[in-house]
A and B are shown apart, each in its own frame.
Chain A
Amino acid sequence: MANQPATTFRIARAGPASLAAAALGALVLAILAALPAFAGRELIQNLIFVFDMLALAQCWNLLAGQAGLISVGQQAFVGLGGYLLFALTIMAGLDPLLAIPLAGGVCAALAFPAALIVFRLRGAYFAIGTWVVAEVCRLVLAQVKQLGGGTGTSLPPAVTSGVIGIEGIKTLFDVRTPAARDILSYWVALALMAASFALVYAIQRSRRGLALGAIRDSEAAAASLGVDIASVKLSVYVATAAMTGMIGALIYLQKARISPDAAFSVLDWTAYVIFIVVIGGIGTIEGPIVGTLVFTLMQHYLADFGAAYLILLGTLGILIMLFAPRGIWGFVVERYDFTLFPTRRRLFVEQRREGENRRIP
């Protein structure tokens, strides 16, 4: 024992690449925020869609990839957020910018009773349970005549054009009302997208994040170590519900027309989102970015093929799941041992005598 080299340990998360990534992230965010000054309206509109999907993907990634809560019912919160926006602006006369965070809050509140029900179901049955809850939401809102019942309703122009700040944007960028509305939605989408990253990052790096990792690896082992699994899972479920609800509210502010079938569509708000996360790389922060890029390109060039396009998406998703279950980003990480947003703690073992750093991944 005596002649073993003296060993020190250092636990680190950030490497030079990640510091660069943080700086790069801030720079990208600043450029994106300033983009409306240069970009045309079509690009702005496309980017709103990209940010919305990326934010939804990040939320689903947190649920399924981190907490092991595989939901196929996140459309419940997209739809609720959308409908809350309509209700709060049309019926309560609130400004949409105020209605969005409020919709998030209400979604979080509604997530508690929903959790009470679906958390009774284990594993795969949890997934179908969340779908039932989304169907219940759709059917209930189809009964609300004030919001158009089964056929849905539109936001009056007074609501969409009267948003606080629109006048300011019109003078600042010298644009008409519709373009100013897009720019405002764009900023909100950018903010929500950044917030979804911040949420995932914060949760992963917190004590809860460590607990989540433990739960994902072995629920029984985590429980025996005193991790309160139910409360950790519940907080992730509620947090993502709030976030998803706000994104839903923004999506339907931009669309200005809502119907139960569209707002609670499992294809639009869950299947696409799952596809993005799976193809990009589940369980990583970077995966959804890659996935959203791939999805947006496919959507742009192939969506006109309708059913054939969806068959292609389904097939691609299955192939990735079978042969590259960690997605495109997972493949890159495995190949080049490279990460932008370090959330895993790495142990560096330094052996003084040999003066070398050996990293144990």
Chain B
Amino acid sequence: MTGWLDAVIQGILLGGLYALFAAGLSLIFGVMRLVNLAHGDLIVLAAFVILTLATWLGLDPFVAALLAIPIMFVVGFALQHVLLNRTLGRDLLPPLLVTFGLSIIIQNGLLQLFSADSERLRAGSIETASIALGGGIAAGVVPLLTLLSAIAVIVILNLVFYRTPLGRAFRATSDDLEIAQLMGIEVGRIYAVAMGLALVVVTVAALYLGMRANFDPTIGPARLLYAFEAVIIGGLGSFWGTLAGGIVLGLAQTIGARIDPEWQILAGHLAFLVVLVLRPRGLFPRAVD
């Protein structure tokens, strides 16, 4: 019994990581209907940026992540401004194929620079620290921080979207591109800011990805799939739905792993497929979309 309860708790905590993966994808889709196939590789890129800063400057990963955040914002802004804005339009093919090409470029660029070796963000004693929850169950401090960060990121994103002029411009642009321009919104810039913001969230995700487990340049696509599954399970258009979707995915994986360790990833994918068949609009679809 304890084993199952433990699986549930670990699953919820793991869901925090998946929600962080997914929040950036959800933001981008919400603002510009772009599905970024390089999203997972950008998470891995951010992890390597944090790693490099931490190694060069001898910093704690948390501090290195703080430094990485403005760098990744600029990367996102430039990527959108220079490349991705050119692909947007009625045709789906250009953005998909350009981000797919980008995924291959980032993966292989990282392979060239860092080799295929596994890396990890070393944070000292916090990595192994845990809080006893009684009954022989403990929650790791880093997994707990991951979930709390996911909640914080979603609260902040909701504030930005629903309480600031920037968020108003995001929603207006998403609603009606032509009229948004006539409000003085420079759509290309708004998109670039949105992508910059998404990569800030990606950097937070990368911090926890790198502290919780080993990473190497090839693991990006799998993170893209988890992020995508969390978004769809939760229902498009709501950040809280994305958190719920991440948790459902995390639960499916840890419970699957409890049955047979080899089934962890498969169980997550199957949970996604089941939700897709039974509730095609996700578990928590927004009323208006």
Contacts and interface: CB of A to CB of B under 8 A. Distances in A.
A–B in direct contact per CB < 8 Å: yes
A311 B109 contact: yes
Contacts of A318: 83, 97-98, 101-102, 105
A53 interface: no
Contacts of A123: 35, 92
Given A117-B273, A136-B273, A318-B83, A127 B37 contact: yes
B97 A278 contact: yes
A140 B229 CA distance: 18
B87 interface: yes
A311 B108 CA distance: 6
A142 B34 CA distance: 33
B277 A117 contact: yes
Interface string B72-103: 00000000000100110000111111101111
A139 interface: yes
Given A124-B92, A132-B229, A140-B266, A274 B273 contact: no
A234 interface: no
Given A127-B96, A136-B270, A318-B101, A310 B225 contact: no
Contact of B97 (A120, A121, A135, A321): A321
Contact of B276 (A70, A121, A278): A121
Contacts of B71: none
B232 interface: yes
B93 A282 contact: yes
Contact of A307 (B86, B108, B269, B272): B108
B228 A128 contact: yes
Interface string B22-43: 0000000000011101000000
Interface in A260-284: 266-267, 271, 274, 278, 282
A116 B102 contact: no
A271 B105 CA distance: 12
A308 interface: yes
B94 A322 contact: yes
A129 B232 CA distance: 10
Nearest to A123: B92
Contact of B35 (A64, A128, A132, A143): A128
Given A70-B96, A120-B277, A322-B86, A310 B265 contact: no
A331 interface: no
B112 interface: yes
A321 B225 contact: no
Contacts of B265: 135, 139
A274 B105 contact: no
Interface in A101-132: 116-117, 120-121, 123-125, 127-129, 131-132
Contacts of A142: 262
Contacts of B16: none
Interface in A124-169: 124-125, 127-129, 131-133, 135-136, 139-140, 142-143
Interface residues of B, number: 43
For the complex, would chain B's binding face be called helix, strand, loop or mixed by DSSP majority? helix
- Specify which of A116, A121, A124, A129 lies most central, judged by the most chain B CB atoms within 10 Å of its CB: A124
A99 interface: no
B61 interface: no
B58 interface: no
A310 B110 CA distance: 12
B276 A120 contact: yes
Contact of B111 (A117, A143, A307): A307
Interface residues of A, number: 42
Contacts of B221: 131, 266
Nearest to B97: A321
A72 interface: yes
B224 interface: yes
A204 B101 CA distance: 28
A317 interface: yes
A271 B104 contact: yes
B277 A310 contact: no
B228 A321 contact: no
Contact of A317 (B92, B101, B280): B101
Nearest to A270: B100
A143 B256 CA distance: 14
B125 to A, nearest CB: 35
17 contacts: A72-B96, A117-B273, A117-B276, A123-B35, A128-B228, A132-B228, A136-B273, A140-B266, A271-B100, A310-B105, A311-B105, A315-B101, A315-B105, A317-B97, A321-B94, A322-B86, A322-B98
Interface of A: 64, 68, 70, 72, 116-117, 120-121, 123-125, 127-129, 131-133, 135-136, 139-140, 142-143, 266-267, 271, 274, 278, 282, 306-308, 310-311, 313-315, 317-318, 321-322, 325
Interface of B: 33-35, 37, 83, 86-87, 92-98, 100-105, 107-109, 111-112, 221-222, 224-225, 228-229, 232, 262-263, 265-266, 269-270, 272-273, 276-277, 280
